[in-house]
A and B are shown apart, each in its own frame.
Chain A
Amino acid sequence: MSKPAAFDIPYTRFLDPEGRAIVPVPAFAQDASALIPDYRAMVLTRTYDAKAIALQRTGRLGTYASCLGQEAVSVGFGSVMQPGDVLLPTYREPGAQLLHGVTLVEMFLCWGGDERGHDFAGPREDFPVCIPVATQAPHATGVALAFKLRGEARAVVCCFGDGATSKGDIYEALNLAGVWQLPVLFMITNNQWAISVPREAQTATATLAQKAFAAGIPAEQVDGNDLIAMRHAAGQALEKARAGGGPHVIEALTYRLGDHTTADDATRYRDDESVSRHWKEEPIARLRRYLADAGVWSKGDEEALIAACAKEVDAAAETYLATPPEPPEAMFDHLYATLPPSLAKQRAALIEEAAALIAEAKGNG
């Protein structure tokens, strides 16, 4: 019997849950202090996340999807993205968005229900958070095709989760990226839950990474709670993509420590014990221990960082809260490049109605 094809899935972890290096770390991590910016980004991400939940709970933000426990994934690949690369995020990658130049104010505006939060001043080509699961994957191949057609040494990072791998969009995009050798990193964040459906109920495959093989793309698994492993794997994949080496799939193994969103109650479908167990593997404490053991991070550094992050996030939240909404007619103003005459009538009617209501409210006040 012949064997027409065989596949391997490497798994990468440098730091164990206690923050000890179990194998020699890659060159970029040999000076532990070089990891401090990533550590700061992870703490800033978690601070932002907690603030967003607090704002939602007090009625000052819309429904919010927390990334608690997944900070090493998006900071890991975000820290090796270059300015020319393009990010197509889901709703749990604020770490990468921040590192790629999206501001905290823009992210608060986005979850606060203001489209201006998607008009990033920094990364003008990055896509906004994609809400319909997996639909961003074909866009990623389109952006990557643009890079390839122009002969640009740029790469695309396409984010999606474990649930998304069940959707056809992902296979269609992987398949195209494989057959046309497009510069895309498909970044699967396997946080074990698609709202209430656990990873094992999603697919019979042993890994999610292996789905890449059906499209002719190399794939690997990474400990997604190990910042060093994430940065190492994503860095190599992006360098390869920029150099014309084609697409790559990374499955980052992590755990969604929070609810799906602020509208969810995860206690309906999972017990506290399993969540507590995963808290022991969370990424921030792990990297902090590594930095402390290496002698580059002190208790004082930690306290100063927490205070600095709180100050930065609070200031951004204040700016967001102080930003008045757009006028009602803004809903018309970006629908088409030029407003069609038929819509001009509806726009005028809205302005009139809004003015009357505002005048009435002032009269009553």
Chain B
Amino acid sequence: MAEVTLVEAVNMALAKAMADDAEVLVFGEDVGLDGGVFRSTDGLLARFGAARVMDTPLAEGLIAGVAVGLAAQGFKPVAEIQFMGFIYPALDQIVSHASRMRNRTRGRLTCPMVMRAPFGGGIRAPEHHSESTEAMFAHIPGLRVVIPSSPSHAYGLLLASIRDPDPVIFLEPKRIYRAVREEVADDGRALPLDSCFTLREGGDVTLVTWGAMTMETLAAAETLADEGIGAEVIDVATLKPLDMDQILTSVQKTGRCVIVHEAALSGGWGAEIAARLAEEGLLSLLAPVQRVTGYDTVMPLLRLEQWYMPSEGRIVAAARRALEYA
């Protein structure tokens, strides 16, 4: 079994999906000979040929629209948007068509496409390269929004997303593309969509997060453990549709919840989780739900970005605040 990084696991899953299913096509900007700006499609052109690995003209709305057309014809398009900050021209196609085609035609035309995009800050990139606007997509009925947090999750969740019969926005936490190596078997086994993953068990406080923030959150749980506080860490993984049951079950046990995400506070996906806790888990809560998020500001450029992104310290402090309530 190979030890791979998250971006290598993405590459492995793409290759596996293409080898298993001739209807899987990969396309986007610079995904061919260049292998993608992060190398996630490295080697696919050589292995599968130019009819299945296509460099498109530089037009994100087009890339999304072509995927809708191919998907209606029974292909399984896996389109790459180079950075989430450039996904907005594709939003019209995703919201107006990809998410609706099955419903609009009562199942006659469907949209089994995956749109992959690296997202999140912390890589010292120029403006527009550090976006975390997953909540925009999670708001849209008919979509799935899936975010892996490790190499094994990237492999298993991407395979599941490609095999899923409906459109999936697959957001890859690029800050941890190469942060850790993990043994991942290239066995074609998918992980379940629409399900949270409990990364660490604990009985005192529930920490809910996704993507790259699992790193800081797991570190915070470790620090809390040193203080004798048992933190349960839940990786949401599929933001939409949301598996609220696992979060509620955990909060019933701990009575306290801290939600951590990189995106701005207001209207972030943490707001939905907090609202659902208020609706369905209020009587389990021993303390107000805490949110540790980016600020309601524009994502700063690289000199200030570390001040914007939730730190381990902020997460630990929020957990302590939650524990102050007797």
Contacts and interface: CB of A to CB of B under 8 A. Distances in A.
A binds B: yes
A205 to B, nearest CB: 21
Interface in A109-125: 115-116, 118-120, 124-125
Contact of B102 (A144, A146, A147, A335): A335
A182 to B, nearest CB: 10
Interface stretch (B69-77, B198-206, B218-226, B305-313): B69-77
Contacts of B67: 142
A90 to B, nearest CB: 14
The winner among A118, A128, A139, A175 for most chain B CB atoms within 10 A is A139
A243 to B, nearest CB: 20
Interface string A128-154: 100010010111111111110100000
A168 B72 contact: no
A350 B171 CA distance: 32
Interface in B83-141: 89, 92-93, 96-97, 102-110, 141
Contacts of B64: 138
A343 B68 contact: no
A126 to B, nearest CB: 9
A167 to B, nearest CB: 10
Given A142-B67, A168-B61, A342-B244, A337 B110 contact: yes
Given A172-B57, A173-B65, A132 B142 contact: no
A299 interface: no
Given A149-B51, A336-B166, A142 B244 contact: no
B141 A335 contact: yes
A127 interface: yes
A123 to B, nearest CB: 10
A116 B105 CA distance: 7
Contacts of B245: 341
B64 to A, nearest CB: 7
B108 A132 contact: no
A327 interface: no
B74 A137 contact: no
B34 interface: no
B73 A125 contact: yes
A320 to B, nearest CB: 16
A124 B164 CA distance: 22
A268 interface: no
B300 interface: no
Contact of B107 (A119, A125, A137, A141): A119
B66 interface: yes
A90 B67 CA distance: 20
Contacts of B25: 149
A149 B69 CA distance: 13
A140 B74 CA distance: 14
Interface residues of A, number: 39
Given A127-B72, A145-B69, A172-B62, A342 B108 contact: no
B43 interface: no
A179 B102 CA distance: 30
A362 interface: no
Given A143-B72, A146-B69, A116 B106 contact: yes
B281 interface: no
A149 B25 CA distance: 10
Interface in A300-336: 331, 334-336
B317 interface: no
B165 to A, nearest CB: 4
A259 interface: no
Contacts of A334: 102-103, 106-107
B93 A135 contact: yes
Contact of B65 (A137, A146, A341): A137
A239 interface: no
B73 A337 contact: no
Nearest to B63: A138
B65 A169 contact: yes
A340 interface: yes
Nearest to A149: B51
Contacts of A116: 106
A145 B165 CA distance: 20
Q: Which 5 pairs, one residue from A and one from B, show the smallest C-beta to C-beta distance?
A: A142-B69, A138-B65, A146-B73, A340-B241, A172-B62
Interface of A: 115-116, 118-120, 124-125, 127-128, 132, 135, 137-147, 149, 168-169, 172-173, 175-176, 179, 331, 334-337, 340-343
Given A115-B105, A132-B96, 7 more contacts: A115-B103, A115-B106, A128-B109, A142-B69, A335-B142, A340-B241, A342-B244
